[in-house]
Amino acid sequence: MKGRVRAKINYCFTRSDYQIFLYDEVAKRLNERLDVITIEPNVVVASGFGEDCLEKIFPGASRITRIDFAHSRMLVRKIKSRFRLPWGPKLGYLCGDLSALPLSSASVDLFYSNLDIPFFDGCDELDQLLTEVYRVLKPGGLFIFSSLGPDTLKELRPIEGMRGLRLCRHMDMHDLGDRIVECGFADPVMEMEELKLTYSNVLALLRDARAHGSESFDIDDQKGLWGKAELRRLSEYSKSKNNGQITATTELVFGHAWLAPEKTTSKGKKIIDIKAV
């Protein structure tokens, strides 16, 4: 399934009309949450897409590595960041899988993920992603992320069964927080915002849904093609429900959690907790 998802994202981002507004807007809001967190990371890893501005936020970092499981998005990011200050953090780029990170254990101070969780949740690999992030973080490291909630594209749910329209069921904020705790992270903080987007036409809405992972990844849901009749029906339905406009809700989920620091004695020896089963 992941191969189909990767191929779909690569197709979206090799088109000249690829959609980046939502990624940039969510990254902007995720960055605002970093402002209230006291951390001075040395090694930063950023996954997903969007203008994360991490070089400006953490000018003291020695290295910032950006990783993406789709090479087309990675190429776009490299082109967008060609011009940078030479005395800033060293930048690295990896085309890799977040469910099998090509990074050493306990090597990262801050892991930043922008809208990658919906793709791995849709592929049933969310636990692998969380386990890998946990593995590469140093004790006391921070995992900060954005995702999508179940009310995303709720305006289209009543006609979801029409030919060609198959939507993902994004995870609820509280369920995602529970999964993060189960993987061993500490002190999770979860927030939700709603963003209402207006589109010039229904094709732009559908391209956006594909680009940010709201189209179903299940092979059984890929039957049917968008014809003029289906597009007209979807456009008319959306306009009839939204005062003549094509609008869609995006439920944004933001969160962060810590890898608990190691417990030590007064003499600096590590304390290992052993729980009886």
Would residue 274 count as lying in a domain? no
Can you give the residue range of the structural domain that contains 147? 2-153+168-195+252-258
Total domain count for the chain?
A: 1
C-alpha span between 266 and 263 (Å, rounded): 10
At 257 the three-state DSSP class reads: strand
pLDDT at residue 200 in the model? 82
Would residue 125 count as lying in a domain? yes
Would residue 74 count as lying in a domain? yes
- CATH at 187: 3.40.50.150
Would residue 143 count as lying in a domain? yes
pLDDT at residue 162 in the model? 59
Would residue 228 count as lying in a domain? no
pLDDT at residue 224 in the model? 45
- Beta strands across the sheet bearing 246-258: 90-95, 63-68, 43-48, 108-114, 137-148, 246-258, 186-199
Would residue 161 count as lying in a domain? no
φ/ψ of 123, rounded to 5, equals -95, 10
pTM, whole model, 2 decimals? 0.85
The DSSP symbol for 263 reads: P
Residues 6+ apart with CB under 8 A from 68: 47, 48, 49, 74, 77, 94, 95, 96
CA distances from 115 to 38, 68, 166, 209, 274 (A): 23, 11, 19, 12, 36
Q: If 0-12 CB within 10 Å is exposed, 13-18 middle and 19+ buried, where does residue 266 land?
A: exposed
Mean pLDDT of successive 10-residue stretches along the chain, which has 277 residues: 69 66 92 91 92 90 89 68 65 88 95 92 90 96 96 79 71 95 95 91 81 71 54 75 81 95 56 52
Q: Which two tokens stand for residue 53?
A: 């501005």
Element (H, E) at 30: helix 21-34
